């Protein structure tokens, strides 16, 4: 059963009791975060792939991203009910290679346009007419320096949501601290084998579980989990057990049944929709664990 007490910061900002976190930072401290983030691009390790290419000189790593590339921004009505309407910015590119990605045109083909920080700042301001600014992609991680830079030029009245696959580096997690109001994660796999097979990432479990604990220590946390067909024991069960033991009812879990075999999924054995019985197994297990979840 959903308990909104896990979203104290989020609701405090919506009610006007608090400002978005980044506005509470001294301007010099936020400026220093921006400078540090841009400097990381000299040998990029914004995410745990740590390609260490010089993106400031135009080199490109696994994410395929050099500069600030934008796909779209619009009021999103398909997010969690407490986020709707969410003003959502989609960035073009991703550090994962998910074979079942439903947004592969954005994440893998990187369709979109290059924009300036000033343009991004103007786009962000539109979020003040909605419940939050929702930063997604692809992944927002490759664009973090420009996002920070745009935020320091923008005065928001609504919470900032970091909507991510959670493969950020320790340096990025440190820079995100006291900037983000709500972490919205996508916890995909319960083991490293599935992660490498379907998203081409190594050491997934340790990195993702660590970043969730770091995020939880910083601010509100909402965890999405898309239940995959035939992956209850290896993925769903282990993820839900870890959430239960690490966070209990203090985070919100969104169990998702929207899997469909998009992009290259059929080539990797993910060739059917999720059954109602499989999803109910995930729901029943969440109830047994006493999780604070929604569907």
Per-residue pLDDT tens digits for 94-143: 999 999 999 999 999 999 999 999 999 999 999 999 999 999 998 999 99
Pairs from 229-235 (Cβ < 8 Å, separation ≥ 24): 229/259, 229/270, 229/272, 229/273, 229/274, 229/275, 229/278, 230/269, 230/278, 231/190, 231/194, 232/278, 232/281, 232/282, 234/190, 234/191, 234/193, 234/194, 235/188, 235/189, 235/190, 235/191, 235/194
Which residue segments constitute the domains of the chain, with CATH numbers given?
4-294 (3.20.20.70)
Q: What is the DSSP letter of 47?
A: B
| Strand stretches in the chain, DSSP E | 69-76, 86-91, 113-114, 133-136, 160-164, 182-186, 220-226, 252-256, 293-294
CA–CA distance, 125 with 120 (Å, rounded to integer): 9
**Res 267: pLDDT:** 97
pLDDT tens digits, 164-179: 999 999 999 999 999 9
**Res 234: pLDDT:** 98
**Res 115: pLDDT:** 97
**Res 154: pLDDT:** 97
Residues across the chain: 295
Question: How many percent of the chain have pLDDT more than 90?
Answer: 99
**Res 2: pLDDT:** 87
**CA-CA-CA-CA dihedral for 240, 284, 231, 272, to nearest 10:** -140
pLDDT tens digits, 18-38: 999 999 999 999 999 999 999
Can you tell me the mean pLDDT for 215-222? 98
Residue in 111, 60, 62, 61 with CA at minimum distance from that of residue 90 = 111
Query: Does 157 have pLDDT greater than 80?
Result: yes
CA–CA distance, 214 with 191 (Å, rounded to integer): 19
Mean pLDDT (the chain) is 97
**Res 43: pLDDT:** 98
Higher pLDDT, 80 or 138: 80
CA–CA distance, 284 with 242 (Å, rounded to integer): 16
pLDDT band for position 1 (cuts 50, 70, 90): confident
Can you tell me the mean pLDDT for 140-160? 98
pLDDT band for position 158 (cuts 50, 70, 90): very high
The predicted model scores a pTM of 0.97
Residue in 133, 135, 136 with CA at minimum distance from that of residue 106 = 136
Question: How many percent of the chain have pLDDT more than 70?
Answer: 100
Can you tell me the mean pLDDT for 33-51? 98
**Res 79: pLDDT:** 97
């Amino acid at each position: 059963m959903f308990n909104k007490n896990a979203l104290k910061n989020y609701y405090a900002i919506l009610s006007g009791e608090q400002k978005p976190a980044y506005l509470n930072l001294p301007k010099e401290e936020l400026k220093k975060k921006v400078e540090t983030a841009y400097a990381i691009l000299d040998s990029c390790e914004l995410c745990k792939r740590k390609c260490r290419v010089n993106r400031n000189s135009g080199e490109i790593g696994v994410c395929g991203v050099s500069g600030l590339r934008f796909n779209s921004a619009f009021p999103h009505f398909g997010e969690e009910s407490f986020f709707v309407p969410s003003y959502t910015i989609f960035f073009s590119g991703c550090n994962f290679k998910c074979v079942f990605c439903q947004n592969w045109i954005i994440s893998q083909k990187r369709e979109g346009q290059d924009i300036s920080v000033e343009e991004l700042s103007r786009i962000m301001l539109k979020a003040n007419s909605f419940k939050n600014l929702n930063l997604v992609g692809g992944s927002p991680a490759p664009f973090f320096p420009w996002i920070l830079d745009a935020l320091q030029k923008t005065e928001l009245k609504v919470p900032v949501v970091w909507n991510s696959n959670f493969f950020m580096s320790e340096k990025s997690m440190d820079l995100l601290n006291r900037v983000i109001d709500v972490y919205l994660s996508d916890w995909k796999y319960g083991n490293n084998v599935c992660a490498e097979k379907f998203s081409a990432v190594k050491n997934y479990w340790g990195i993702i579980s660590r970043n969730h604990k770091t995020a939880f220590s910083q601010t509100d946390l909402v965890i999405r989990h898309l239940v995959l067909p035939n992956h209850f024991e290896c993925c769903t069960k282990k993820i839900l057990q870890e959430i239960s033991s690490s966070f209990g009812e203090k985070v919100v879990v969104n169990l998702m049944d929207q899997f469909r075999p998009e992009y290259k999924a059929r080539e990797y054995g993910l060739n059917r929709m999720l059954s109602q019985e499989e999803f109910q197994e995930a729901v029943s297990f969440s109830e047994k664990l006493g999780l604070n979840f929604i569907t």
